[in-house]
Chains A and B, each alone.
Chain A
């Protein structure tokens, strides 16, 4: 049935493979030992006549099993797929695996090209959990929600698993052959008509490979495009300094921060670090406490923690910036400010008062002018070099990607493009509408695509190559400050994918190189032969190459920059405001169930994007939640459900990108609507002239929190810094609880350890990282939109979001809510089987296999933090998900109650360690998943019996209070009241 194309066998590769083969490998044929795709195909075909209709999920699963079978047949003995090369464990523990004991490896995940260092927990060669890398500047030990969820993408059964040629299963060798011919053609005409489209590139190796390729084909062009690229940052810097520079904020140094529509605590490069620094200053309270002003259209996580938030239409932020700049003596004309009178003056005065320790940050979605003005203001305030630092660009080629894409599209439509290689991205889905990328693409003779999913773009390409996940392939990337991390794979490609490096090697005629060799060789050249092996090993171990941060750079704002600024164009009528989605970003995470089911920080909606409008605007339009609106802008229309968001700017509609996917996975296809049709290259983040009309249709949305008011209950307690100075114990004086000592019977004593948790409401930005971390750590299932809509979501932590004050400009509070492990637990008393009871260390523990599912405990829980398996929610069938699960945590079955356990499995592993060394568990040795991931360190867990533990100290803090204390439930999870630091000059706040 198969004709081995031995001509195509890469013998050198086979030799290489046989050399670094560990142990004996028996092999039957050259194809087999070379692991050529023919061999795979052979095994597939031999055992599955049916794999041709691979589109239906079942078929795909079969294929998976058979891939497994094929490996077994190929004589590989390992049941887990360790990469053949040597990767270096992070921990000092012996490098050979101890069964049941996880190992940690350092690598980095990139988003928008920028790296965030992570440590990956690996059980017997199976990566199961992402943690932050404490030594990495962009992580400091924490991560964002995306990194937490990336583990699910790795095991996603919908990921593309084969090489496709015109939609039919082909193989790598066939592609190699094609490229061979292709190169002959290209060499002839110096690569004319050849284009490469990538996303933002910070990888030095990839940059080098592209450079070499372009050197070989001088006529070829390299384009970059991704929807959430930071074009304005690049453009703004060019405008202000005449050259592209990278901007790094020193949030920790800033006393007063003005954010011009910048969600810098929750998204964008370095946001995790920024959040940490911000919270650190916040926590200090008193005089050291920083103050944050923000002007933005749709409330963001950053906006929710700001001391002063001014809802302004995105297009009004620029005039506001002009006004502030003028007020601070920057030589610019001052137009009328859209802010209420006194605002600009007060902010400007405050900034001036803290000249040198203040900071103005411009949002990535704001036009270049705002960035230029921000630079100018910072310069005028003398912040440059103190709270804001400029460096060489981190991106390999900082271009304005919208423009780059526009050119490519133009050339394609003009037929100037013969060969297009698309590395990652998904332009067919997310290119600006006016580029008409699809039409252009169809004019291209040869379209080659490397992608994680067989998505919209792959559907239109001749060749689709399965890409490796970042945990599967070698690579390198730079962080927001330029620090380089070598990405080492945790597992061999599950679906035999290829990395961008490997594909580029092929394109540049180097044949089939292993990603590892490409990266290593590049850095050998870069770092020099001397002691390289050692450096390399250290780099892999630490998860970064020391001293690769880009150097600071002295730049000064051009005198005449103001002249070059495009005049702010006022906007009439409604304004459209496009933003990357807080949970699925630009759509790349659309097939990730954890992120889809993650409630959006402000709206608490899951599985959908909506048209966000302010209450007043909703009244004017006569719209209610869930009513379908038709949005028309620049002659293009989309339809989406309305959602009323208090605090949104008037006459403005915010729509998140990334939904409405039509291809690329069972989960991705379906939910929400795509806003990309409204995206034009001249207004990538929306603009004026939006026409909104009602369609009369309604759409069911799944929201996890229907009620937004606190009903005057003292759940989130807060005060201004001044009130705090007057009465530090205000939080405890709000409610008169029962006298703790009064009891009819004697209390249980908790000798030994007594676990407890403190959550700092002053630091929580509602970023959701803890929710996903908990989901990953504790094998929490995804239930789907309909079940969420019925109030059956399963996340063990939920982040309660309350609005305070007026509808139009409310204050927002976040309150992480998980099991409080009450000492007088109401749930325990009513359990008929004793399936939930108290441990000797104070844990409220669930005995799953004793639970009969009466739900009485949940009814009687005043915090409603228990979750019930109404159906069999855990996926017991999908093979590819099995290795992902945390082996230390039960996978729950139908009819069982579950809830936060304080990560008891982590407590126990720490206990084992401590008992081996015959000592108490040290403070900080047990770190719950939510605590570990929290960028602002808002969650602290520990032993309350140890007077020196952080948690014990926090419990003594005057701000510490327990909610519903008056019920005498004696919760072990308590909260630190929130402080606000308003500017006395401004009435509100």
Chain B
């Protein structure tokens, strides 16, 4: 039945301003399960639809610390335990000489954490998503701004929600099929 086959209702806007306003109002209406789609980042939008915690910086910190520790540990153990060599009369643990490598490795792991952490948290790659079923959604990567209220939302009521969205200066409102 069509109800069950519905992912949500999506409204298309022409300007970031309209979208932002609509999002804020929707949140005020009590809608929680919704998402906005835009061709470029829009400040305050995520907060507007109730996004709070961002764990990415923490991940990056962990990545950096790991790289730092691992690198120095490796160098230290190579030169003092695994295969100590008298090189130019320098001490086995020539820590100043180990700094560059330690630093580079720190940056490397932090960067990896940043990128792959971001993708993981965003659940990317994700080849299929219902919103792609909306024919005009292709414009979400061009010059249109979308707000989608999902059917999962407890306050979701097909007719009411549709009406609400139409009332938000949206260009068009369409169903998102599953």
Contact = CB atoms under 8 A, between A and B. Distances in A.
A745 B86 CA distance: 13
A834 B94 CA distance: 14
Judged by DSSP, the binding face of A is loop
Q: What 8 A-B pairs are tightest by C-beta distance, nearest first?
A: A838-B86, A829-B88, A828-B88, A824-B89, A837-B85, A828-B87, A745-B91, A825-B88
B33 to A, nearest CB: 57
A837 B86 contact: yes
A749 to B, nearest CB: 10
Contacts of A825: 88-89
A284 interface: no
A832 to B, nearest CB: 11
Nearest to B85: A837
A917 interface: no
A443 interface: no
B129 interface: no
Interface string A798-840: 0000000000000000000000001111111101001001111
A33 to B, nearest CB: 60
A834 B89 contact: no
Given A825-B89, A827-B88, 10 more contacts: A745-B90, A745-B91, A746-B91, A748-B86, A824-B89, A829-B88, A829-B90, A831-B87, A834-B87, A838-B88
A587 to B, nearest CB: 48
Contacts of B91: 745-746
Contacts of B87: 828-829, 831, 834, 837-838
Nearest to A824: B89
User: For the side of the interface on A, what is the size category?
Assistant: 10 to 19
Contacts, number: 33
A96 interface: no
Contacts of A747: 89
Contacts of B86: 748, 837-840
A283 interface: no
A962 to B, nearest CB: 15
11 contacts: A745-B90, A745-B91, A822-B88, A828-B87, A829-B88, A831-B87, A834-B85, A837-B85, A837-B86, A838-B87, A838-B88
Interface string A435-450: 0000000000000000
B35 to A, nearest CB: 52
B89 to A, nearest CB: 5
User: For the side of the interface on B, what is the size category?
Assistant: under 10
Contacts of B85: 834, 837-838
A911 interface: no
Contact of B89 (A827, A839, A970): A970
Interface string A708-749: 000000000000000000000000000000000000011110
A839 B88 CA distance: 10
A747 B89 CA distance: 7
Contacts of A823: 89
B63 to A, nearest CB: 27
Nearest to A825: B88
Contacts of A970: 89
A829 B91 CA distance: 11
A280 to B, nearest CB: 37
Nearest to A823: B89
Contacts of B90: 745, 829
Nearest to A968: B89
A748 B85 CA distance: 11
Interface in B106-152: none
Nearest to B96: A744
Nearest to A839: B86
Contacts of A826: 88
Nearest to B93: A745
A837 B88 CA distance: 7
Nearest to B94: A745
Interface string B49-92: 00000000000000000000000000000000000011111110
A69 B167 CA distance: 104
A834 B88 CA distance: 10
B99 to A, nearest CB: 15
A839 B86 CA distance: 7
A822 B88 CA distance: 8
Interface string A854-871: 000000000000000000
Contacts of A748: 86, 89
Interface string A636-679: 00000000000000000000000000000000000000000000
A856 B14 CA distance: 63
Nearest to A745: B91
B88 to A, nearest CB: 4
Interface string A730-773: 00000000000000011110000000000000000000000000
Contacts of A829: 87-88, 90
Contacts of A831: 87
A535 to B, nearest CB: 55
Nearest to B87: A828
B123 to A, nearest CB: 42
A748 B89 CA distance: 6
Interface string A535-558: 000000000000000000000000
Give the residue among B85, B89, B91 with the most A Cβ atoms within 10 A: B89
Nearest to A826: B88
B30 to A, nearest CB: 65
B146 to A, nearest CB: 55
A822 B91 CA distance: 16
A834 B91 CA distance: 14
Give the residue among B85, B88, B89, B90 with the most A Cβ atoms within 10 A: B88
A198 B92 CA distance: 67
Contacts of A834: 85, 87
B31 to A, nearest CB: 61
A790 B67 CA distance: 46
Nearest to A837: B85
A178 to B, nearest CB: 69
A826 B88 CA distance: 6
Nearest to B86: A838
B175 to A, nearest CB: 64
